[in-house]
Amino acid sequence: MKLMTRMARSFVAGETAEEALRQVEKLRQKNILVTLDILGEAVQDRAQSDKAVQDYLDLLDTLAKAKSEAHISLKLTQMGLDIDDEYCFQNMVKIISRAEKAKRFVRIDMEGSALTQRTLDIFYRLKKKFDNMGIVVQAYLHRTEKDVADINKLKAKVRLCKGAYKEPKEVAIKKMKDIRANFTKLAEMLFTQGVYPAIATHDSKLIKWTKEYVAANAIGTDKFEFQFLYGLRNKTQRKLAKEGYQVRAYVPFGTHWLPYFMRRLRERKENVFVVVVNFFK
C-alpha cells in the first residue's frame, strides 16, 4: 500500500488546492500551462455533488487570489449527471458563470461511452450561454468523427485524446494503429475547421505527427497546444515548451486520489507500463 501511495502521489498534485498550486508554480516556471481538476466522479448523492460544486467555486476564488492563469476541468458525473440531467446542468451554470466573471476557461471531461451523448447534450446547452468552455472527445470511439464535425460548427474548443475506458468493439476501435489513424484524421479536422485544438497524447508517434503536420501546413504554435497528464512524460513536456510549443499539464488533486489512480491502471494494460516507467524515471 505504501508503494502504491507513493506511485499515485507522483501523478496527483496533493489533496488540497494549496498543495496543487505549489506544483502549478513549478510547472509555470518551466513555461508549462496548467488545467486543475478536483478528483471525483460517479457521485450518486446530491449532498456530495453540492459539495463538489462548492469546491470548484472555492477553487475559482483561490485561483483569483493567487493570480493564477490555470484553467479548470471537471466530470459531469461529479456534478450530478447520474442523479438528474437538469440538476447537473444547473450546477454547471453556477461554475461556468463564476469562471466567466473571472475570465477563466472550463473544460468538460468525457467519461465512458454510456455517458457520451448525455455529456454532449449538456455541453451543447451550455455552449449557447457561454464561450469560456470546451469539451473532450475520444479518438477511439466510432462516433467521434461526426461529433467533431458537429462541435466544429459551434467553433468550440476541443481536447482530443485517444480514450482510456474499456469499451466494446461495437463502440470503440480496438487496434492501436487504427486508433492512431483516427486520431490524426480527427486532428486534421480540428486543425482545418476547429478552434485552438488541444492535442492530448503521450504517444511519441502522435506527437511527432503533430509537429510535422503543423510545420507542413504553416500552423503557428499559438494556434494549438499539446496536453499531458501531470507526472507523465515530464521531459517531453519541458522539451516541447523549450521548442516554443504551447504545453499544458492536466493536474488532478483532492482526497479521491486512490480511485483515480486505480481507475487509470484498470482502464488499459498500457497504463500500468506508462505509470511504472515514469515512476522509476
CA end-to-end span of the chain: 20
Per-residue pLDDT of the chain (281 residues; tens, 9 = 90+): 555 556 666 789 999 999 999 999 999 999 999 999 999 989 999 999 999 999 999 999 999 999 999 999 999 999 999 999 999 999 999 999 999 999 999 999 999 999 999 999 999 999 999 999 999 999 999 999 999 999 999 999 999 999 988 899 999 999 999 999 999 999 999 999 999 999 999 999 999 999 999 999 999 999 999 999 998 899 999 999 999 999 999 999 998 766 666 666 665 555 555 555 555 55
> Which of 109, 180, 248, 264 is flagged as catalytic?
109
Residue 109 appears among annotated catalytic residues: yes
Amino acid 10: pLDDT: 76
Cα(233)–Cα(274) distance, integer angstroms: 9
A 10 A CB-CB count for 98 gives 18
Residue 121 appears among annotated catalytic residues: no
A 10 A CB-CB count for 129 gives 12
Q: Is the dihedral of CA 143, 149, 151, 157 positive or negative?
A: positive
> Which of 107, 159, 248, 264 is flagged as catalytic?
159
Q: Specify which residues 109 forms β-bridges with.
A: none
Amino acid 255: pLDDT: 83
What is the amino acid identity at position 95?
I
Cα(58)–Cα(72) distance, integer angstroms: 12
Burial 150-160 (b: 16+ CB within 10 A, else e): ebbeeebbbbb
At residue 226, the 3 state secondary structure works out as strand
Walk me through the domains of the chain, giving residue ranges and CATH numbers: 2-280 (3.20.20.220)
Contacts for 212 with CB less than 8 Å, ≥ 6 apart:
none
List Cα–Cα distances, 130 to 67, 104, 123, in angstroms: 22, 11, 10
Contacts for 253 with CB less than 8 Å, ≥ 6 apart:
12, 13, 14, 15, 16, 17, 19, 20, 36, 37, 38, 39
